[in-house]
Structure 1
Amino acid sequence: MALSPRLSGQVAARAHHSPAAKLLRKVEPFFAIGQVSGGPLLIASLVALVAINSPWSADFARLWDRPLRVSYGSWAIERSVAEWVNDALMPLFFLIIGTEVKREFVKGALSSWQTAVFPVAGAIGGLVVPVALYLAFNYATPTQHGWGVVAAMDTAFSLAIVAMFTTRLPPAVRAVLLAFAAIDDVFGLLVIAVAYTSALHAHFLLLAAAGYGAMVVLLRLRWVAPILYVACGLVVWVGVLGSGVHPTIAGVAIGLLLPTSSRLSEKRFVERVQQPVDELKAAQRAADQARDEGEAEQHRGEAQQSLGYLHEMAAATDEAAERLVRILTPWVSYIVLPLFALSNVRIHFSRELIGGALHSPLALGIVVGLALGKPIGFLGATWLATRIGQARPPEGVTWRMVLGIGAVAGIGFTISLFIAELAFADAGLTEMAALAVLAASLVSGLFGYGVLWRAAATAAAAEPDA
């Protein structure tokens, strides 16, 4: 989600062939193929805003509101196309988030107790303070129920901004933001489950628990074939969807379950492949020296058998979590997130809407809650946890960087728009909430970029002295 060292090197090499080298370095993190990137999401959001404010607005909305029915025997479920995007595709994005954050907690910059507590404390502050600020504007009003809109951040956009400083800030900055984003989004999903779910269906929850338990058993048995894991994952998704809880939480739960270690260490790999490599060489040499085509084909078959063994042994050195993220990331970046933006961003700009938002407690509560509440809550809670000795920032992370992390956390998009649609039955309130989320995101993005730019400049100036 930030550029990896290999991707950073690729960007630097490409820059030598272009007169726009500096621009390429800045833009690349928003479109990096190997990482979840915010560029396609940003473009899709702009396209959606243009389309919904064009003469073809009604046709564009009908495209996403068209019902789509799935049935099997007597069981049937019907959702609009937009709802299918939210319910069936967005869990893949949160699967990546859950997987990435587990890796950071298990073996990354947050693997010690105190560094792990650091983003957890920040997430608590990043929930409590924004909600309190929102309620300060909306308590005892018809919009009080919308407090959940400020509960969660947008992970893709915030990580894309941090990725712009990937070579100038410590890697732990990304790790802290990633962990904060995952915990913050889980809080948001729990808010949906508790405050915006009208009814829970226990039998579907039991189905989800059964699918999840089956995945645990398969992992304990060290089962390799992926088809059973996919089937169990589908059972978990169906169970959560049918229960009334938003199915994106299924993605996070499964991501936290995936193994972050390989089945075969590099040392064991070397021990196991030496003999098959020798057999491969012998088979290839025998095929070249064969007296007829039949004998050569037999030896080529032996070589292919050795290659198959080597392929499986090489695959065993790969982490299941890392492999899944690598497979899903391009699909999520270039299909799932853009489809979400196209189907959910529906702000009809008008004088009435903008003028009303300037004097609306709803809009003011959202903007203040996200743009001020997130950085204040994150910075204040992490500072307090550090002062009482329960947490410490990872090595190299300064308090200015912490403020920058909290600032970009004010970018609310995916879950904020989810919750706005759930919280308000009135389309006008939903649209005003979406406009406020957009405004808060712009302010937070610019403020976060400025803080992180200054932090990166300070870190660079301090390097010669170190």
Structure 2
Amino acid sequence: MTESSNQTALEQAFSKVLSPFQNFIEEQKSSSIILISATVLALMLANSEWAQHYSDYLHYQIGLLVGQQPYAMSFKHWVNDGLMAIFFFVIGVEIKRELLAGEIRDIKKSAPILVAALGGMLVPALFYFALTFDTAYASGWGIPMATDTAFAIGVLALLGARIPISAFAFITALAIVDDLGAIVVIALFYTESIQLAYLYIAAVILLLLILANAVGLRRPSVYILGGVAMWLAMLVSGIHATVAGILVAATIPARSSKEPDWFIKRIKKLLHRFERIESGKQAEVKILEQKEQHQVVENVLDAAHQASTPLKRWENALRHPVALLVMPIFAFTNAGVSLDDLSLAGIVAQPLSLAIMLGLVLGKCLGISLFAWLAIKLGMGELPEGLTIRHIIGLSFLCGIGFTMSIFIAGMSFGGNEELLAMAKIAILIASTVSGVLAYAWLYVVSLGQDS
């Protein structure tokens, strides 16, 4: 028995055309492709006859005029402090979900991941610190600690069935812990002079949002308004405004308002009612004319809403907009570096560039794989099923793709020095490319060994 369809021939034809695009958006690697495209476009514009227009676009002031007092920031500032707060919010939601129901919930399973993530932060920072100690570059030690989850998973997706599915879980959990570490570093070490009054205001807002969660408030408007207020307070407090995204994410309810048993009973009742209406209507009557059926469908949607958690709904709603819009806009805004006065050989020879590249490529590889191996040897846990230490080496190379978070930290480290910032960005791009190629080649060779 085939399922009936109300689609017209034109709708069915359009669905066939649209389906590949929908599948493209759903795939993890799509965000990596869009990120690369945005980065290449930014580099092309910054080194073309339109370079001045590109620069003007980055510094275009956007804001409000209240009386005679302007409240405005450059477009680049809005992206880095505003849009990226949404990016950090999604990271925070993923961290909370992972802590409550993911790979890092079970300490026996998560111990190697947690220890590996720790090594993946400490060793790259030590590489960087050793090469830049007592220099003007020392403040950038957080740059090689970061991992770009979208690019990392995108490279894994290119390998397809050649890589165990558990590799995706491992790299996702490790990158989430990595992101958490980077956020702590940003909050503690990359702040300006702190305005305590505004920090107190942010703390009060956070407590109110925690209270809202505790009493069962699930309306999105409560957390959106609270989040905007906290972002404003953070913006003027001296602590980077994007930290507000993480803190608000921690307050999003992770409990559904109704239990599964209620949902099952409710859906059965609604389906029975829908079937009764359907069997009793005249054949020529369209569903558009059936108010009762529409009401039943709306009740089903409402029941599904009550049986799901706000945490998961928000993650699902924001994951694709952040991956396909926010991150590419960030890349387009921040990756444009003029190469006119810079030579590749000269950049690579600089201590700053060497520190970033060695930190991301070698530091990440040694830190993650060595610490994971030690955790297993010390009996702290086991690797996920299907993974070996050879896979971990490949995945550790993968974590050397710093890109988004590394560029973000570089901007905070060298924002006042355009020459150093440009050098850091180019080093990040080179290291991320090398890490991605090494990871793909290593894991591909490992997969060949398993097939033989």
Category of TM-score, reference length = shorter chain = 0.7 to 0.9
- Secondary structure in 1 matching 2:178: helix
The equivalent of 1:238 in structure 2 is: 232
- Secondary structure in 1 matching 2:72: strand
Do residues 451 (structure 1) and 442 (structure 2) align? yes
How far apart are the structure 2 equivalents of 1:460 and 1:248? 45
- 1:117 pairs with one of 111, 117, 126: 111
The equivalent of 2:61 in structure 1 is: 67
The equivalent of 2:8 in structure 1 is: none
Alpha-carbon distance, 1:225 to partner: 2.6
Verify the 8 A CA contact 2:159 2:440 in the aligned structure 1: no
- 2:159 pairs with one of 153, 157, 165: 165
Verify the 8 A CA contact 2:38 2:328 in the aligned structure 1: yes
The equivalent of 1:47 in structure 2 is: 41
The equivalent of 1:310 in structure 2 is: 300
Verify the 8 A CA contact 2:192 2:239 in the aligned structure 1: no
Q: Structure 1 pair 105/393, CA: closer, same or farther in 2 (3 Å)?
A: farther
- Within 5 A, what are the aligned runs for 1:13-24? none
Verify the 8 A CA contact 2:61 2:73 in the aligned structure 1: yes
- 2:25 pairs with one of 21, 32, 38: 32
Alpha-carbon RMSD across the aligned residues, in angstroms, is: 3.1
The equivalent of 1:175 in structure 2 is: 169
Verify the 8 A CA contact 1:92 1:332 in the aligned structure 2: yes
Alpha-carbon distance, 1:287 to partner: 6.1
The equivalent of 1:408 in structure 2 is: 398
Letter in 2 for 1:244: G
- Secondary structure in 2 matching 1:246: coil
Verify the 8 A CA contact 2:223 2:252 in the aligned structure 1: no
Q: Which runs of 5+ in 2 are unaligned?
A: 1-15
Do residues 375 (structure 1) and 371 (structure 2) align? no
The equivalent of 2:181 in structure 1 is: 187
Verify the 8 A CA contact 1:284 1:300 in the aligned structure 2: no
- Within 5 A, what are the aligned runs for 1:49-448? 49-70=43-64, 77-260=71-254, 262-283=256-277, 288=282, 300-350=290-340, 352-424=342-414, 425-448=416-439
- Secondary structure in 2 matching 1:346: coil
How far apart are the structure 1 equivalents of 2:304 and 2:427? 50
Letter in 2 for 1:373: G
Number of residue pairs matched by the alignment: 431
1:69-104 deviations in Å (ceiling 9; x for gaps): 246689964321011111111222222223234333
Verify the 8 A CA contact 1:33 1:329 in the aligned structure 2: no
Q: Structure 1 pair 52/210, CA: closer, same or farther in 2 (3 Å)?
A: same
Aligned-residue identity in percent? 30
How far apart are the structure 2 equivalents of 1:262 and 1:168? 37
1:324-355 deviations in Å (ceiling 9; x for gaps): 22221232122211111111012222474323
Alpha-carbon distance, 1:203 to partner: 2.7
Alpha-carbon distance, 1:144 to partner: 1.9
Q: Which runs of 5+ in 1 are unaligned?
A: 1-16, 19-23, 462-466
Normalised to the residue count of structure 1, the TM-score between the two structures is: 0.83
How far apart are the structure 2 equivalents of 1:169 and 1:264? 38
Letter in 1 for 2:130: A
Verify the 8 A CA contact 2:116 2:371 in the aligned structure 1: yes
Normalised to the residue count of structure 2, the TM-score between the two structures is: 0.85
Alpha-carbon distance, 1:288 to partner: 4.6
Alpha-carbon distance, 1:135 to partner: 1.8
Q: Structure 1 pair 150/166, CA: closer, same or farther in 2 (3 Å)?
A: same
Alpha-carbon distance, 1:199 to partner: 1.1
Verify the 8 A CA contact 2:361 2:397 in the aligned structure 1: yes
